[in-house]
Amino acid sequence: MRSISVRLAAVVALSFPASLYAQRAERNDPFGREWRFEAGAGVNYGLPQGVFRDYVKQGFGADAFFRWNFDRQGILSLRADGGFLGYGRETKRVPLSGTVGGRILVDLTTSNNIVHLGLGPQLTAPDGPFRPYVNGGGGFSYFFTTSSVEGSNDNEPFASTTNYDDFALSWSAGSGILIPVGVRRDVSLDVGVQYRDNGQVRYLRKGSIVDLPNGGIQITPIESDANLLTFRLGISARIR
């Protein structure tokens, strides 16, 4: 009995270092892990292209994405992304209504915006100090202009309306670099650029809405290509 116990102890003693080595190897070898998903978000700067740049100078916004991996290293994946970009905003003080005149003034803010959604493939380097990627896809872009009213001491608008909107199918192509950080390297800084072709769109810009003396408004939309080159800085995380 004592002999059996000694043998079992010896087997455990020999197996324990091997087990630790295997666990350490699994932790340090990203190729040995199975990454099913990856998600991220970031801020972006939009630079209009072509004719669109004649009317709009720049835009700022945010976006997010989610990827489903087709292989265990996440080299080939299906990427769904969406974002918001504001490309013009103006605020002015106006009377609350014609009946109270200038006794009660409110802030009237008009903003021009774009929302996009897309879906397409992505190729990503599985590991390394830098993980370059390329992607592409199709989707839609929604251009809309809204006006809202808020009080001087209240940052929440109490009335708003959509002045103008248009919808366009779009396609995109992008590339970037993921820079893994941390011990496990599950989280990465994401620096990228994306070109989005929105085709012909009708949209408003700053000055497209003019207030008339009779209380009405005059809206002058622009129709042109509305393509964008977007630069992003974000963070992404691998999900098992």
Does residue 32 surpass a pLDDT of 60? no
Does residue 120 surpass a pLDDT of 80? yes
Same domain, 18 and 126: no
Inter-residue contact 231 to 202 (CB < 8 Å): no
Same domain, 173 and 219: yes
Per-residue confidence (pLDDT) for residue 143, from 0 to 100:
97
Per-residue confidence (pLDDT) for residue 23, from 0 to 100:
43
Does residue 183 surpass a pLDDT of 90? no
Same domain, 9 and 68: no
Length in residues, the chain: 240
Q: How many domains does the chain have?
A: 2
Range of 72's domain?
33-239
Per-residue confidence (pLDDT) for residue 21, from 0 to 100:
39
> Beta strands 187-197 and 200-203: pairing type?
unpaired
- Region of residue 25 (phi > 0: left; psi between -120 and 50: alpha; otherwise: beta): alpha
Does residue 226 surpass a pLDDT of 50? yes
Per-residue confidence (pLDDT) for residue 216, from 0 to 100:
80
Does residue 31 surpass a pLDDT of 60? no
Whole-number CA gyration radius for the chain: 27
Per-residue confidence (pLDDT) for residue 172, from 0 to 100:
97
Same domain, 22 and 91: no
Residue 138: strand, helix, or coil: strand
Mean pLDDT of 186-207: 94
- How many whole angstroms separate alpha carbon 16 and alpha carbon 6? 15
Same domain, 83 and 14: no
Per-residue confidence (pLDDT) for residue 4, from 0 to 100:
44
Same domain, 24 and 66: no
Least confident of 12-21, 34-43, 107-116, 231-240: 12-21
Same domain, 120 and 102: yes
Per-residue confidence (pLDDT) for residue 112, from 0 to 100:
96
Q: Which pLDDT band holds residue 45 (cuts at 50, 70, 90)?
A: very high
Tens-place pLDDT, residues 63-98? 999 999 998 888 999 999 999 999 998 888 777 665
Per-residue confidence (pLDDT) for residue 156, from 0 to 100:
64
Buried b (16+ CB within 10 A) or exposed e, 218-230: eeebbebbbbbeb
> What is the model's pTM?
0.79
Per-residue confidence (pLDDT) for residue 205, from 0 to 100:
92
Same domain, 190 and 234: yes
Same domain, 214 and 104: yes
Inter-residue contact 167 to 142 (CB < 8 Å): yes
Q: Which pLDDT band holds residue 207 (cuts at 50, 70, 90)?
A: confident
Same domain, 152 and 206: yes
Same domain, 45 and 153: yes
Here the CATH number for the domain that contains residue 132 is 2.40.160.20
Percentage of the chain lying above the pLDDT 70 cut? 79
Same domain, 114 and 10: no
